[in-house]
């Protein structure tokens, strides 16, 4: 069974630009969560989607948004990039999202200059 | 094993030793716990999980212990190998959103 895939793996952007990251979950998984990982803050929850609906949201500004498609694939978008948005963005999938193991993708490394 | 700022706690062991990594969790209502391993340049990888109705669970070379009284979780790795070198962190789950600890860096010397 194929794992979670994320594209692109690396990105370099400049301040003020926007970026879209993509995540394909494990087949049969309907819950997709996004996380930001930085050395200073560790893993922080961004949001979770289930059946094309955002079900939970972390404490991030509105510049961070996402969506999920009918095939469970998900995208997240960050608008008006700031230097502090430089991070590893991880996507994780699970069957239902409720108190179960999440399977992570390799992440997208975003560098904002 | 909670970290402060940029620095993760580090555990250095010799190959073949047993390793114990600790984690303090915060929510007494959490009822599902997971240990993850993250190697450099990769996403976190599931190691072992435990539900709150258990105190101990064993996997292949790994054991997780849960002490709900003091809200403490530990991961024991038997016969540690160089390939075990990574950052290990625990996650506590209550509902849909897991909360992750900062992690402990395990360094295994051959």
Does residue A32 have a cis bond before it (omega within 30 degrees)?
no
Six-digit token string for A65: 């948004």
Share of chain A above pLDDT 90, in %: 88
Q: Cβ separation of A98 and B96 shorter than 8 Å?
A: yes
> Rounded to a whole number, what is the distance in Å from the CA of A100 to chain B's nearest CA?
8
pLDDT at residue number B3:
32
Q: Is A48 on the interface with B (CB under 8 A)?
A: yes
Share of chain B above pLDDT 70, in %: 94
Q: Is A52 on the interface with B (CB under 8 A)?
A: no
SS (H, E, C) chain A: CCCCEEECCEEEECCCCCEEEEEECCCCCCEEEEEEEECCCEEEEEEEEECCEEEEECCCCCCEEEEECCCCCEEEEECCCCHHHCEEEEEEEECCCCCCCCEECCCEEEEEC
Q: Cβ separation of B31 and A99 shorter than 8 Å?
A: yes
pLDDT at residue number B97:
81
pLDDT at residue number B7:
67
The region of weakest confidence among A50-59, A94-103, B54-63 is: A94-103
What tens digit of pLDDT does each residue of A26-49 get? Answer: 999 999 999 999 988 889 999 999
Q: Could you tell me how many CB contacts below 8 A there are between chain A and chain B? A: 54
- What residue in B sits closest to A49 (Cα-Cα)? B96
Q: Cβ separation of A43 and B45 shorter than 8 Å?
A: no
pLDDT over 50 (residue B5): no
The DSSP call for residue A25 is P
> Rounded to a whole number, what is the distance in Å from the CA of B100 to chain A's nearest CA?
6
Q: Cα(B86)–Cα(A7) distance, rounded to whole angstroms?
A: 24
Burial class (CB in 10 A: 0-12, 13-18, 19+), A68: buried
């Amino acid at each position: 069974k194929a794992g979670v895939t994320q594209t692109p793996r690396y990105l370099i952007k400049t301040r003020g630009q926007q970026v879209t990251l993509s995540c394909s979950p494990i087949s049969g998984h309907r819950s997709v969560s996004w996380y930001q990982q930085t050395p200073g803050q560790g893993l922080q929850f961004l949001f979770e989607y289930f059946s094309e609906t955002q079900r939970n949201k972390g404490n991030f500004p509105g510049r961070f948004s996402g969506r999920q498609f009918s095939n469970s694939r998900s995208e997240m978008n960050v608008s008006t990039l700031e230097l502090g948005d430089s991070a590893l963005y991880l996507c994780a999938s699970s069957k239902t999202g409720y108190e179960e193991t999440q399977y992570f993708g390799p992440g997208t490394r975003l560098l904002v200059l | 094993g909670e970290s402060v700022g940029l620095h993760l706690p580090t555990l250095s062991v010799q190959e073949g030793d047993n390793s114990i990594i600790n984690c303090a969790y915060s929510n007494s209502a959490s009822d599902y716990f997971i240990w993850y391993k993250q190697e450099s340049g990769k996403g976190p990888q599931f190691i072992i999980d435990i539900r709150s109705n258990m105190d101990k669970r064993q996997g292949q070379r790994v054991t997780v212990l849960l002490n709900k009284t003091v809200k403490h979780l530990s991961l024991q790795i038997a016969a540690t190998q160089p390939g075990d070198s990574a950052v290990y962190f625990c996650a506590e789950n209550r509902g849909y959103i897991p909360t992750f600890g900062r992690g402990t860096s395990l360094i295994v010397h051959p």
